[in-house]
Amino acid sequence: MSRNAYPYPHRLEKASALPDLTMKLPKETNRFCPYCRKHTSQLVMTQKNKSRSSVHPMGRGSPARVKSRSLHGFGNWGKRSKKGAKDWKMKTKATKRITIQFKCKVCNKIKTMHHGIRVSRIEIGDKVST
């Protein structure tokens, strides 16, 4: 074997061709509806994640509000006294949690999953949401 040849060529092929991690769900599914108290056909949807509004800069939990609250008085800033996550050498998550909702066709009420699924993409029927 020559010196500059890579001894494990099969590993190079696997590393370059990573699969696209997409979770596929049907448009409709039969589930138990807690409002109808029976199994009904339900539509599968994803919840829209709202971003913090720039219209309300002093909204609940905004950085400006946190800073203004901590500027008066003595003592530490509590949770904001710590350094950021980048200073802890923590890695950032590559995916977001996507919340799935089920809408009952009988009573038109929506039931949401308590914990979102951490996945890069969800494909519901033909529609793709990231």
User: pTM for the whole thing?
Assistant: 0.59
The residue extents of the domains of the chain are 21-49+91-130
The 10s digit of each residue's pLDDT in 31-78 is 999 999 999 999 999 987 776 666 677 776 677 777 777 677 777 777
pLDDT of residue 16: 45
The percent of residues above 70 in pLDDT, for the chain, comes to 72
pLDDT of residue 3: 56
Task: Report, at the CATH architecture level, how domain 21-49+91-130 is classified.
Answer: Roll (3.10)
Helix spans in the chain (H)? 9-16, 63-71
CA dihedral 80, 84, 88, 93 (to 10 degrees): 120
Tell whether the model's pLDDT for residue 22 goes beyond 80.
yes
DSSP SS3 for 14 = helix
Indicate the helix (H) or strand (E) that contains 39.
strand 38-46
Tell whether the model's pLDDT for residue 106 goes beyond 80.
yes
The 10s digit of each residue's pLDDT in 2-12 is 555 556 555 54
d(C-alpha 51, C-alpha 13), whole Å: 39
Tell whether the model's pLDDT for residue 111 goes beyond 70.
yes
d(C-alpha 99, C-alpha 117), whole Å: 6
- Alpha carbon 55 to its chain centroid, in Å, reads 24
